[in-house]
A and B are shown apart, each in its own frame.
Chain A
C-alpha cells in the first residue's frame, strides 16, 4: 500500500506528538537528558563563534596595517639553485625602480628599523624606531594626532625630529603634550614634532610603543655601517591601488628585482616579498585550524550528550516494548517504529540544541560587551546548530530505534 505525501507528513506529525507525550511522561528524565545536549551544543556553537571572532580580529589587525600592500625585505628567500645569496639586498634605488616600473603602485615607503633609548628630563625609555618618509603614513594608515608627521623637508634635511607613539609619549612625558619638547635619542638631541593616533594593540603587542624619525636621519646617525651598502633599507612597504591583483604585482616585482640583482634560472633571490593578501590567506588557515581544534574539543561534550541520548533512548525502548508490540500488531512496519523513536531522539536533541544555542548567543554577547572580543553567532551558525542537534539525535538515537524496530511483534507484546 503506497502512502501519499500528505499522509507521510501527517505520520511525521503523529510521531512528533507521540514523542512529546513520551517526553512529558518522563519530564525530569527528559530535561536531564536534554541538558547534556544543551551543554554540548552550547560549547560547540560558542567555539565556532570564538573561532570566527579570532578570524575577524586578526583580519582587522591586518587591515590596520594597510589593506593593499606588499612588504619587501632584504632577506634571501632561501630558494635553492646553483647560487644563493648569503646576505639580502634592498636599496632605495630598488624602491624607486618599483615605483617607476610596476603598475598600480600608489606609494613606496622605504624604512630603516632601529632600537633606541630616549631620555628627557630624567625619564628614559627604550623603544623601536622607524626611519621613514611621509609615504609611510599613507601606506600604513598612521597620522599624527597632535603636532605633525614627518615631511619631505624633514627627510631632505635629515632633521633631528621625532614623532612618538602614544605609549612612548606617555612613558616619557605623562599626560603632558610633548609636541615641541626636546629629548635625547641615543644621546643626540631631538625635538618632538608630533604624537601618533593610537593603533591599540594586537596579540599583546603594543602598536603605540614606537617612535618615527626621518629616514635620512636614522641612516646618518643610527644604522652606521651595519648595512651592506649606504643606500640599503631594512624594509620597504609598497602601497597599491584598490583592485590591483597583488599576486601579479608580486610576480612583476620579483622579476624586476631579479633582473636588477642578475639572478638567473632557479637561483634564490636576495630579497623576500610578502603581500597582505598572503597574510590574510595564511592567518585564515591558522585561525581555521584554531577554530577546528576548539570545535573538536567542544565536540567531546556534545559526544557525551549524545551518549546520554542513546542511553535514555535504550531505556525508553525497553520500557515501551509492549507498546511497540501493540503498534506492530496494529500494523506498524519496521520503519514506522524506527521513525517513531528517531523522532523522539531528534525532538529531545533539538530542544536541547535550541537552549544551548540561546545560551551560546547570550555568552557571545557578554564576551563581546565585557571582554571586547567579538563572538559572532550568525543565522547560518544558528540554523546549523539546530540541524546539527537533530543529526545528533538521529545518530545516537539510531541504534536504539533500529533495535526497537527489529523486535518480534509477539515477543514485544508478551513483555510485562
Chain B
C-alpha cells in the first residue's frame, strides 16, 4: 500500500465563542496506515472528538487537509463525502445511535439503503453481520428490547455492513460496564486481526491498552504518539459467544 489510510496535514479546527477563539484541534499532522489499531486519548476538551469527526469526514476543518485512502477530501461536495463515509468508514458512537422502533436488522441495513442495495440484499447482508456479532437470535428486536452491550453490537454490525476500510469509535464503551466493555474491545481486536483499521477515542487506559498505538492529545495538539508496549488481549466473556470470522 503506497499511501496511508488516513493522512492529516496541519489540521486545524477553531470555534468562535463569544469573541474568543477556541483551538479545538491545533495543527495536527499524522498518518494512520491500513491495519492499525489506534487509541486516541487525552483529557476532556483536548480535541479528540473534533479530530475524529474530521477524519471521519463528518466535520469540515478550518484549515489543513484530510486524505482518506489517498484521496484529498477538502474539495469534495457534501454528497461525495456522504458516499465516502458510506463506503469506507464505519462509525460506532457512545450512545449507540440506533433508530428507535426499528428492528436490529433494519437498523443494520440503513447504510445499505444509501449504498443503493436492494431490499433483499439489505436484509441478507444485515442478517449476516448480526449473526457474526452473535445476535442471530435478536434479529427482529427493537433497541428497547436489547441490553447496552447488545445495542452496541448492533451498532458495530451496522458500521461493518458496507465493508468499510476503517472503524471510528468515539468512546464506544463510555456507556457500558467493564465486562461489556471488554466484550466490545474483543470484537474490535478480532476485527482488526481480520484487517480492518480501528480508531478508538477513549480516556480509559484499560481500553486504550487494547490498541496497538496510542495518540495523546492536549489542547488540540498531539503530545505523544507511541506504540502500546503492554497490549491487553480481551478474553471471550460469555460461554459460546461467537466472534466475527
Which residues from chain A sit less than 8 Å from chain B, CB to CB? 1-4, 6-8, 10-11, 13-14, 21, 25, 322-323, 326-336, 408-410, 413
Cα of A10 to Cα of B158 in the assembled complex, Å: 19
Least distance between A230 CB and chain B CB atoms (Å): 90
Least distance between A361 CB and chain B CB atoms (Å): 35
Cα of A299 to Cα of B235 in the assembled complex, Å: 68
What are 29 A-B pairs at a CB distance below 8 A? Answer: A1-B83, A3-B116, A10-B118, A11-B116, A13-B119, A21-B102, A25-B101, A326-B97, A327-B114, A328-B58, A329-B56, A329-B58, A330-B85, A330-B158, A331-B87, A331-B114, A331-B115, A331-B162, A332-B82, A333-B78, A333-B83, A333-B114, A334-B82, A335-B79, A336-B113, A409-B58, A409-B59, A413-B58, A413-B93
Which B residues lie within 8 Å of A14 (CB)? Answer: 113, 119
The answer to whether B101 touches A21, judged by C-beta atoms less than 8 angstroms apart, is: yes
The answer to whether A11 touches B101, judged by C-beta atoms less than 8 angstroms apart, is: no
Cα of A322 to Cα of B100 in the assembled complex, Å: 12
Which B residues lie within 8 Å of A331 (CB)? Answer: 82-83, 85-87, 111, 114-115, 162
Cα of A237 to Cα of B166 in the assembled complex, Å: 91
From the candidates A13, A329, A336, name the one contacting B91 in the complex (CB within 8 A).
Answer: A329
Of residues 4 through 59 on chain B, the ones whose CB sits less than 8 Å from some CB of chain A are 53, 56, 58-59
The answer to whether A410 touches B116, judged by C-beta atoms less than 8 angstroms apart, is: no
B144 within 8 A of partner (CB): no
The answer to whether A7 touches B117, judged by C-beta atoms less than 8 angstroms apart, is: yes
Number of interface residues of B (CB under 8 A): 29
Query: In chain B, what residue has the closest Cβ to A22?
Result: B101
Which B residues lie within 8 Å of A10 (CB)? Answer: 118-119
Which B residues lie within 8 Å of A330 (CB)? Answer: 85-86, 91, 110-111, 114, 158
Which A residues lie within 8 Å of B71 (CB)? Answer: none
From the candidates B56, B110, B116, name the one contacting A327 in the complex (CB within 8 A).
Answer: B110
Cα of A409 to Cα of B97 in the assembled complex, Å: 14
Least distance between B96 CB and chain A CB atoms (Å): 10
B99 within 8 A of partner (CB): yes
Of B85, B93, B101, B116, most buried by chain A (CB within 10 Å of CB) is: B116
Query: In chain A, what residue has the closest Cβ to B56?
Result: A329
Query: In chain A, what residue has the closest Cβ to B114?
Result: A331
Which B residues lie within 8 Å of A327 (CB)? Answer: 110, 114
Binary A-proximity of B96-109 (CB < 8 A = 1, otherwise 0): 01010110000000
Of residues 91 through 145 on chain B, the ones whose CB sits less than 8 Å from some CB of chain A are 91, 93, 97, 99, 101-102, 110-111, 113-119
Given A328-B82, A331-B87, A413-B93, 16 more A-B residue pairs with CB atoms under 8 Å apart are A7-B116, A14-B113, A327-B110, A328-B58, A329-B58, A330-B91, A330-B111, A331-B162, A332-B113, A333-B79, A333-B82, A334-B82, A408-B59, A408-B60, A409-B59, A410-B59
Least distance between A25 CB and chain B CB atoms (Å): 6
Which B residues lie within 8 Å of A13 (CB)? Answer: 119
Cα of A3 to Cα of B113 in the assembled complex, Å: 10
Known: A14-B113, A330-B158, A331-B111. A410 touches B82 (CB 8 A): no
Known: A322-B97, A330-B85, A331-B82. A336 touches B102 (CB 8 A): no
Of B93, B99, B158, most buried by chain A (CB within 10 Å of CB) is: B99
Cα of A13 to Cα of B78 in the assembled complex, Å: 24
Of A6, A331, A409, most buried by chain B (CB within 10 Å of CB) is: A331
The answer to whether B85 touches A334, judged by C-beta atoms less than 8 angstroms apart, is: no
Least distance between A26 CB and chain B CB atoms (Å): 11
Which A residues lie within 8 Å of B119 (CB)? Answer: 10, 13-14
Which A residues lie within 8 Å of B91 (CB)? Answer: 329-330
Report the 5 A-B pairs with minimum CB-CB distance, sorted nearest first.
A331-B86, A331-B114, A3-B116, A7-B116, A410-B59
Least distance between A132 CB and chain B CB atoms (Å): 77
Which A residues lie within 8 Å of B102 (CB)? Answer: 21
The answer to whether A410 touches B83, judged by C-beta atoms less than 8 angstroms apart, is: no
From the candidates A2, A4, A8, A329, name the one contacting B85 in the complex (CB within 8 A).
Answer: A329
Which B residues lie within 8 Å of A408 (CB)? Answer: 59-60
Of A327, A329, A332, most buried by chain B (CB within 10 Å of CB) is: A329
Least distance between A131 CB and chain B CB atoms (Å): 81
From the candidates B60, B93, B113, B116, name the one contacting A1 in the complex (CB within 8 A).
Answer: B116
Known: A330-B85, A331-B83, A332-B82. A6 touches B118 (CB 8 A): yes
From the candidates A322, A326, A410, name the one contacting B53 in the complex (CB within 8 A).
Answer: A410
Which B residues lie within 8 Å of A333 (CB)? Answer: 78-79, 82-83, 114
Which B residues lie within 8 Å of A8 (CB)? Answer: 116
Known: A21-B102, A323-B99. A332 touches B114 (CB 8 A): yes
Which A residues lie within 8 Å of B111 (CB)? Answer: 330-331
Cα of A413 to Cα of B78 in the assembled complex, Å: 15
Which A residues lie within 8 Å of B79 (CB)? Answer: 333-335
Least distance between A59 CB and chain B CB atoms (Å): 52
Cα of A8 to Cα of B115 in the assembled complex, Å: 11
Cα of A331 to Cα of B99 in the assembled complex, Å: 15
Query: In chain B, what residue has the closest Cβ to A25?
Result: B101
Cα of A14 to Cα of B162 in the assembled complex, Å: 18
Least distance between B93 CB and chain A CB atoms (Å): 8
Cα of A156 to Cα of B101 in the assembled complex, Å: 92
Cα of A6 to Cα of B83 in the assembled complex, Å: 19
Cα of A336 to Cα of B111 in the assembled complex, Å: 12
Query: In chain B, what residue has the closest Cβ to A2?
Result: B116
Cα of A332 to Cα of B53 in the assembled complex, Å: 16
Which B residues lie within 8 Å of A329 (CB)? Answer: 56, 58, 85, 91
Least distance between B142 CB and chain A CB atoms (Å): 11
Query: In chain A, what residue has the closest Cβ to B115?
Result: A331
Cα of A25 to Cα of B114 in the assembled complex, Å: 23
Cα of A171 to Cα of B99 in the assembled complex, Å: 79
Of residues 130 through 173 on chain B, the ones whose CB sits less than 8 Å from some CB of chain A are 158, 162
Query: In chain A, what residue has the closest Cβ to B117?
Result: A7
Which A residues lie within 8 Å of B162 (CB)? Answer: 331
Which A residues lie within 8 Å of B85 (CB)? Answer: 329-331
